[in-house]
Structure 1
Amino acid sequence: MTSASTAEGLPPNPPAPAERKPFRSLSDGMAGHRNSLGVLRLVLAGLVIFSHAFPLGGWGDDPMRSWTRNQESIGGFAVVGFFAISGYLIAKSGAGSDILQFMWRRVLRIFPAFWLVLIVGAVIVGPIVWLMDGNRPGGYLTNLGAGGPVGYVLLNADLTIRQWGIYDIFISTPWGERGGASALNGSLWTLAYEWSCYLIIALFVLLGILKRAKWIVPLVTLFYFGVALSTIVAPGFAASIFPAFGDSFRITLTLIFLIGSCMGLYSRSIPLDDRLGILSAIVVVASLALGGWIIVGYPAFAYLLLWGASRLPQRVQWIGAKNDYSYGVYVYGFLVQQFTAYLGWHHWGYVPWVLATIIVTGGCAWLSWHLVEKRAMQLKDFGPGRGIRYWFDWARQRFGRNSEKIKAAPQE
Structure 2
Amino acid sequence: MSLQEALGGHRNSLGLLRLVFAAAVIFDHAFPLGGWGTAPFLGYTDNQQSLGGLAVVGFFAISGYLIAKSGMSSDVVQFMWRRFLRIFPGYWLVLLVGAFLVGPAIWVAEGNALGDYLTLGPGGPIAYLYSNWTLAIGQYGIHDVYLDTTPYPGGAINGSIWTLVYEWGCYLVIAVLVAFGVMKRAKIVVPLIAAFFFVAQVAALLLEPGALAPLFPTFGDPWRINFGLVFFIGATIAMYADRIPFDDRLGVLSGITSIALLRFGGFNTVGYIAFTYFVLYLAARLPKALQRVGAKNDYSYGVYLYGWVVQQILSFLGVNEWGYLPYVLLALLGAFALAWLSWHGVEKQALKLKDWGPGRGISHWRDRIVSRVRKRDQEPSDEAVLVEPGERQNG
Alignment of 1:62-73 (within 5 A): 62-73=39-50
Counterpart of 1:196 in structure 2 is 169
Counterpart of 2:17 in structure 1 is 40
Q: Tell me which of 211, 220, 232 is aligned to 2:205.
A: 232
1:339 matched to 2:313: yes
Give the deviation of 1:249 after TM superposition.
0.5
Secondary structure of residue in 1 paired with 2:147: coil
Give the deviation of 1:67 after TM superposition.
1.0
Counterpart of 1:155 in structure 2 is 131
For residues 128-165 of structure 1, the C-alpha deviation after alignment (integer angstroms, 9 at most, x for no partner) is 11111111122221x21331011111210000110101
Counterpart of 2:189 in structure 1 is 216
The 2-side partners of 1:367 and 1:195 are apart by 24
Residues 240 and 408 (structure 1 numbering): CA distance in 2 closer, same or farther, change over 3 Å?
Answer: same
Alignment of 1:14-33 (within 5 A): 24-33=1-10
Counterpart of 1:110 in structure 2 is 87
Counterpart of 2:227 in structure 1 is 253
Counterpart of 2:301 in structure 1 is 327
The 2-side partners of 1:66 and 1:288 are apart by 10
Q: Tell me which of 142, 160, 174 is aligned to 1:187.
A: 160
Q: Does the 8 Å CA contact 1:36/1:310 hold for their aligned counterparts? A: yes
Q: Which has the larger displacement, 380-389 or 390-399?
A: 390-399
Secondary structure of residue in 1 paired with 2:131: helix
Give the deviation of 1:114 after TM superposition.
0.1
Q: TM-score under structure 1 normalisation?
A: 0.91
What amino acid is the match of 1:305? Answer: V
Counterpart of 1:134 in structure 2 is 111
The 1-side partners of 2:373 and 2:293 are apart by 47
The 2-side partners of 1:88 and 1:145 are apart by 42
What amino acid is the match of 2:319? Answer: W
For residues 338-386 of structure 1, the C-alpha deviation after alignment (integer angstroms, 9 at most, x for no partner) is 1111111111100011001100110000000001111111110010000
The 1-side partners of 2:121 and 2:376 are apart by 49
Q: Tell me which of 303, 313, 326 is aligned to 2:277.
A: 303
For residues 166-210 of structure 1, the C-alpha deviation after alignment (integer angstroms, 9 at most, x for no partner) is 00101124444xx3x221000000000000000010011001000
The 1-side partners of 2:20 and 2:290 are apart by 12
Give the deviation of 1:408 after TM superposition.
6.2
Give the deviation of 1:397 after TM superposition.
1.5
The 2-side partners of 1:184 and 1:96 are apart by 38
Give the gaps of 5 or more residues in structure 2. 388-395
Q: Does the 8 Å CA contact 2:211/2:220 hold for their aligned counterparts? A: no
1:145 matched to 2:121: yes
The 2-side partners of 1:106 and 1:194 are apart by 11
For residues 244-289 of structure 1, the C-alpha deviation after alignment (integer angstroms, 9 at most, x for no partner) is 2221111010000000001111110000001111111111111111
Counterpart of 1:7 in structure 2 is none
For residues 202-249 of structure 1, the C-alpha deviation after alignment (integer angstroms, 9 at most, x for no partner) is 011001000000111001111111111112333354222112222111
What is the total number of aligned residue pairs between the two structures?
Answer: 385
The 2-side partners of 1:340 and 1:211 are apart by 49
Give the gaps of 5 or more residues in structure 1. 1-23
What amino acid is the match of 2:331? Answer: T
Counterpart of 2:246 in structure 1 is 272
Secondary structure of residue in 2 paired with 1:240: coil
Counterpart of 1:57 in structure 2 is 34
The 2-side partners of 1:367 and 1:172 are apart by 30
Counterpart of 1:290 in structure 2 is 264
The 2-side partners of 1:406 and 1:283 are apart by 73
Q: Which has the larger displacement, 130-139 or 363-372?
A: 130-139
For residues 38-59 of structure 1, the C-alpha deviation after alignment (integer angstroms, 9 at most, x for no partner) is 1100000000000000000000
1:262 matched to 2:229: no
Q: Does the 8 Å CA contact 2:151/2:315 hold for their aligned counterparts? A: no
The 2-side partners of 1:223 and 1:348 are apart by 48
Q: Does the 8 Å CA contact 1:283/1:296 hold for their aligned counterparts? A: no
The 2-side partners of 1:346 and 1:237 are apart by 40
Give the deviation of 1:31 after TM superposition.
0.6
Q: Does the 8 Å CA contact 1:57/1:346 hold for their aligned counterparts? A: yes
Q: Does the 8 Å CA contact 1:160/1:189 hold for their aligned counterparts? A: yes
What amino acid is the match of 1:373? Answer: E
Q: Does the 8 Å CA contact 1:54/1:62 hold for their aligned counterparts? A: yes
Counterpart of 2:147 in structure 1 is 171
Q: Does the 8 Å CA contact 1:146/1:163 hold for their aligned counterparts? A: no
What amino acid is the match of 1:67? Answer: Y
Give the deviation of 1:60 after TM superposition.
0.3
Counterpart of 1:10 in structure 2 is none
The 1-side partners of 2:386 and 2:212 are apart by 68
Q: Does the 8 Å CA contact 2:140/2:155 hold for their aligned counterparts? A: yes
Give the deviation of 1:398 after TM superposition.
2.0
Q: TM-score under structure 2 normalisation?
A: 0.95
- Percent identity of equivalent pairs: 53
Q: Tell me which of 36, 46, 61 is aligned to 1:84.
A: 61
Give the deviation of 1:401 after TM superposition.
1.9
